[in-house]
Amino acid sequence: MGAMTTDTFFNGRVRVNQDRSGYRFSIDAVLLAYYARPRPDDKIIDLGTGCGIIPVILAYRHPGITLYGIEVQKTLAEIATLNAKENRMSDRITIIEKDLKLLESQMVSGPVDLVVSNPPYRRVRSGRINSDRQRAIARHEITATLLDVVQAAHRVLRNSGRLVMIFPAERIIDLIFQMRSSSIEPKHLQMVYSDIDMGATLVLIEGRKGGRPGMKVAPPLTIYHQDGSYTDAVLKMFAP
């Protein structure tokens, strides 16, 4: 691991280390962790955990859950392990350095209740690929495509288990198609807007393995006021 920075959340109760020059998490991770709504004793996998920000937030918010973070990049897996340790969550968070395409449920002691993922957003041939390998893998579908992520979720979920993801709004058709193709039925959706005067930038979606058709659409979520400050809905996500 190289030089790192440390961010704090929830009035300093949670600390998250990140690679100073490599991939760094964004507000997307916070939105996804809040939207996931785990049950009190859920067993959860985060596919493409990065520095482990999502498992750390979930473990802080929900003391009874058990989490596994899957990360293909060695350095990020090491940072995620460090973050679990420094936040005294190693008894509930296990980081596994693994290509998610090879993930099977027996690697996490059987099927899980919930899979969350903030996967690479861009196809390999869309946009300039970052020269930094760590950032490139996190942003482009280099080591795993959207289909790979959804199929991995299907393999590890129990029947009626949930997949919760955040993804670009412009690829919502791809997302719904791949979920349905993998027998994960979209059940709940929320569009995310940077500010009220712009089009939707992200979509939060929940699907259920083997679920019946029928999806609820929540009111939209806006991240920023026009002055650039967070909306009350987002500030609530950062509250201790």
CATH number of the CATH domain containing 30: 3.40.50.150
Most confident of the following: 24-28, 127-131, 148-152: 148-152
- Average pLDDT of the residues in 112-140: 65
- Average pLDDT of the residues in 22-40: 92
The DSSP bridge partners found for residue 208 are 162, 185
pLDDT at 131: 47
Cβ 138 vs Cβ 129: under 8 Å = no
List pLDDT tens digits, range 174-212.
999 999 999 999 999 999 999 888 899 999 999 999 999
Range of the domain at 87: 4-238
For residue 171, pLDDT beyond 70: yes
Please give the backbone phi and psi of residue 211, each rounded to the nearest 5 degrees, phi first: -75, 160
Number of other residues whose CB lies within 10 A of the CB of residue 28 = 20
Torsion sign across C-alpha atoms 97, 102, 105, 106 = negative
- Average pLDDT of the residues in 216-223: 98
For residue 141, pLDDT beyond 80: no
For residue 37, pLDDT beyond 80: yes
Report the C-alpha dihedral over residues 161, 164, 169, 172, rounded to 10 degrees. Answer: -20
Chain centre distance of CA 211: 21
Written as six digits, the tokens of 119 are: 């996967």
pLDDT at 23: 75
- Average pLDDT of the residues in 148-171: 97
The structural domain count of the chain equals: 1
At residue 177, what is the residue type? Answer: F
For residue 44, pLDDT beyond 60: yes
C-alpha distances out from residue 240 to 17, 22, 87, 164, 237, Å: 19, 28, 15, 23, 9
Using DSSP's 3-state secondary structure scheme, residue 16 falls into strand
Written as six digits, the tokens of 95 are: 């980081």
